[in-house]
Structure 1
Amino acid sequence: MPTPPETLTFVPETVHKRDVFSETISGHLAEDPDFKVVLRKLDGVPWWAKPIASFLARKEIRGLRTVEGIEGVPKLLRVDGEGLLRSWSHGTPLQLAKPDTADWYKDAKRLLREMRARGVTHNDIAKPQNWLRSPDGRAAVIDFQLASVHRRKGKLFRTMAREDLRHLLKQKRNFAPHLLTASEKRMLARKSLPTRIWMATGKRLYNFITRSLMSWSDGEGTEDRIARDGDAVRAALQGAGEVALFTYALPAKGVGIYAFVECDLDHASVRAMVPEDKAELVQPVTALPRRSDGSLREDALQLVATNRLDELELMMDNEPDLTPILKPIIAGRQNLTDRILKP
């Protein structure tokens, strides 16, 4: 007999993302440690963001309940004052999986078709990280915060469903352009009228609100902050231990400096040594990851600085010797956004 939702106990493990609207944490059920789950935590949202956070939560709840039973979507397990608990979707994000055979795209279309049959549009699958390739090679989709459930399948629904498909085709163009058909290429070339209006008007307001007011970041420039401020940061931290500097995306156009410091000091002590206008984030670590010749694993540290957990998991799977060093660094990371720095 299945466990009643109200008795499920969430055991947190890893914080994946944090913004003013929610915190996303993966973990498992106390009743079943092998059952991995995800909590969208809402009880820590600031009062001024609660109306929007509640609106997004209602959309996600309604969307997940409507698509329940479709192969490739998460299952909503519990909703309470803490937040939304759902099943973990096993798979590799698209930007890492890079599927280049027809089977995955065929199954992804199947998934969209079944969602469409229930009147659901996802509205956020332009992000490759919201698509997964499951261990058996099938398609899965996550993050239903912006999903819409349409009682009537009118013109708005058809337009939004078309945009979901067009965004899937954009992924296909990125990872398997040789598979695009002539009709798919024509669809990619034609944005819908609402999309064109949104790009010219609403998206500009959205970018201002999310980047400037909500501290989200997306597609910022790549000014060389390390060349400009790196020497000052290293001088401020002189004597603390070895310093490794990396950049990450800042809100409202810009890049920040993330400083890893190999030392025995706590975070407050290291933070007090360097001004925030020189290094926005600092993280003391017991040991920095290194190669056998002693050189720093800058590739791993850059992934930590930019909060790219999926790639770090893949790296540790391929190089198990890195796990003992990287795990505590990942657990203590300071950047918890899911935005990336684009060149």
Structure 2
Amino acid sequence: MIEPTQNHTFVPETVHKRDVFSETISGHLAEDPQCKVVLRKLDGVPVWVRPVAWFLARKEIRGLRAVAGIDGVPQLLRVDQVGLLRTWTEGTPLQLAKPDDPEWFRDAKRLLRDMRRRGVTHNDVAKPQNWLRTPDGFAAVIDFQLASVHRRKGKMFRVMAREDLRHLLKQKRAFAPHLLTASEKAMLARKSLPSRIWMATGKRLYNFVTRRLMNWSDSEGLEDRLTKDGAAVVETLQAHAAVNDVVLCAYALPAQGIGIYAFVETDLGPDALRALVPPTQAELLQPVTSLPRRQDGTVRQDALQLIATNRLDELELLTANDPALANAMAPIIANRLNLTDRVLKT
């Protein structure tokens, strides 16, 4: 176990996501290059949102301190004006691991039980990406931004702890329904009163604001956008003598619907590309020296789509046993333009 201290020096390597509240960067400790860590960077957030960003950060700090020493949770290493530094948790997100063995779910229950004994509820385990399957097959949980530390284990604590467990059972229903017991099925069928109130009121308002007012949907309009603007983008770019090839991918625009991400095989720079295609036709234009291709010459659009939607975990799995693809993708990943964590489901 690494000793938490302000003396830890962070060496950044990869930006995983960036939003208005923080920037998440993985790297290692300067004093121990083998120790992979993650920095939630807060010093660059806009002034107007800084109070909210630090409110969420303080919840994460308090939660991580409360669960320190529990197997399967990150370890907080440093907190300062830059942000908070924690250990990296090695593992595969649940939507990719798709565990169907009782051992993983048994360990996940153990993890929630250990947290409950410390008076901690996670409050965000409904997201499969917050659950991991470690290389040795155990459960881990990350992202404590919404976690609560309860001084008294009263009714509200019991309700929130029950919801954590119920959301774990929803993951079990999704990936291993054959393992559900009769009592677990009964629990899934009985939502708590606060949950029913949220579904009847707050959730409807949330969906109305994000999907109707903000047009923030996962896939609605994807085909229309590519059909409407895609052909003109490709035609314009390929008409330039310095452009060899173009691949278009769709991605989710936070609060704006569907965006177009163009990977352009060219020696032109970003400014020269942008002069050819306005943002109204393609939001992101990334020049690449060489597009990744299969042996038959076809472009690996599957890999480029993962970059466009910033799904680095899936990309790592895709390239794990393909060194040639990994090498081809490395410079494209390093210069990728979408750093949000909004996943586009196609």
Structure 2-normalised TM-score?
0.94
In the aligned structure 2, how far is the partner of 1:328 from the partner of 1:250?
Answer: 23
* Superposed displacement of residue 289, structure 1: 0.4
* Superposed displacement of residue 49, structure 1: 0.6
Change in CA separation of 1:342 and 1:201 when aligned onto 2, cut-off 3 Å = farther
In the aligned structure 2, how far is the partner of 1:241 from the partner of 1:14?
Answer: 28
* Superposed displacement of residue 195, structure 1: 1.3
Change in CA separation of 1:76 and 1:207 when aligned onto 2, cut-off 3 Å = farther
The runs of 5 or more residues in structure 1 that have no matched partner are none
Matched residue, 1:221: 220
Matched residue, 2:263: 260
1:324 and 2:323 aligned: no
CA contact (8 A) 2:254 2:342 kept: no
In the aligned structure 2, how far is the partner of 1:57 from the partner of 1:216?
Answer: 28
CA contact (8 A) 2:2 2:77 kept: no
* Superposed displacement of residue 164, structure 1: 0.6
SS at match of 1:6: coil
In the aligned structure 2, how far is the partner of 1:79 from the partner of 1:45?
Answer: 16
Change in CA separation of 1:42 and 1:209 when aligned onto 2, cut-off 3 Å = farther
Partner deviation per Cα, 1:223-242 (whole Å, 9 max, x = no partner): 31111111111122122331
SS at match of 1:337: coil
In the aligned structure 1, how far is the partner of 2:89 from the partner of 2:221?
Answer: 33
Matched residue, 1:64: 64
* Superposed displacement of residue 219, structure 1: 3.4
CA contact (8 A) 2:222 2:250 kept: no
In the aligned structure 2, how far is the partner of 1:72 from the partner of 1:4?
Answer: 17
Matched residue, 1:164: 164
Change in CA separation of 1:59 and 1:2 when aligned onto 2, cut-off 3 Å = closer
Matched residue, 1:250: 253
In the aligned structure 2, how far is the partner of 1:63 from the partner of 1:211?
Answer: 31
SS at match of 1:16: strand
Change in CA separation of 1:63 and 1:260 when aligned onto 2, cut-off 3 Å = same
Matched residue, 1:305: 308
Matched residue, 1:55: 55
In the aligned structure 1, how far is the partner of 2:27 from the partner of 2:209?
Answer: 31
* Superposed displacement of residue 318, structure 1: 1.8
CA contact (8 A) 1:220 1:252 kept: no
Matched residue, 2:5: 5
In the aligned structure 1, how far is the partner of 2:334 from the partner of 2:247?
Answer: 18
1:342 and 2:342 aligned: no
Change in CA separation of 1:176 and 1:222 when aligned onto 2, cut-off 3 Å = farther
In the aligned structure 1, how far is the partner of 2:340 from the partner of 2:2?
Answer: 35
CA contact (8 A) 1:60 1:145 kept: yes
* Superposed displacement of residue 31, structure 1: 0.5
* Superposed displacement of residue 34, structure 1: 0.4
Partner deviation per Cα, 1:114-136 (whole Å, 9 max, x = no partner): 00111100011111111011111
CA contact (8 A) 2:233 2:277 kept: yes
RMSD of aligned C-alpha atoms?
2.0
Change in CA separation of 1:208 and 1:12 when aligned onto 2, cut-off 3 Å = farther
In the aligned structure 2, how far is the partner of 1:275 from the partner of 1:236?
Answer: 11
The runs of 5 or more residues in structure 2 that have no matched partner are none
Partner deviation per Cα, 1:167-219 (whole Å, 9 max, x = no partner): 11111111111111111111112221211222233335555777899x89553
In the aligned structure 2, how far is the partner of 1:261 from the partner of 1:134?
Answer: 37
Q: 1:289 is aligned with what amino acid?
A: P
Matched residue, 1:289: 292
Partner deviation per Cα, 1:137-170 (whole Å, 9 max, x = no partner): 1100000000000111111111111111111111
Question: Aligned pairs, how many?
Answer: 342
* Superposed displacement of residue 222, structure 1: 4.0
CA contact (8 A) 1:220 1:250 kept: no
Change in CA separation of 1:279 and 1:128 when aligned onto 2, cut-off 3 Å = same
CA contact (8 A) 2:217 2:257 kept: no
In the aligned structure 1, how far is the partner of 2:202 from the partner of 2:113?
Answer: 28
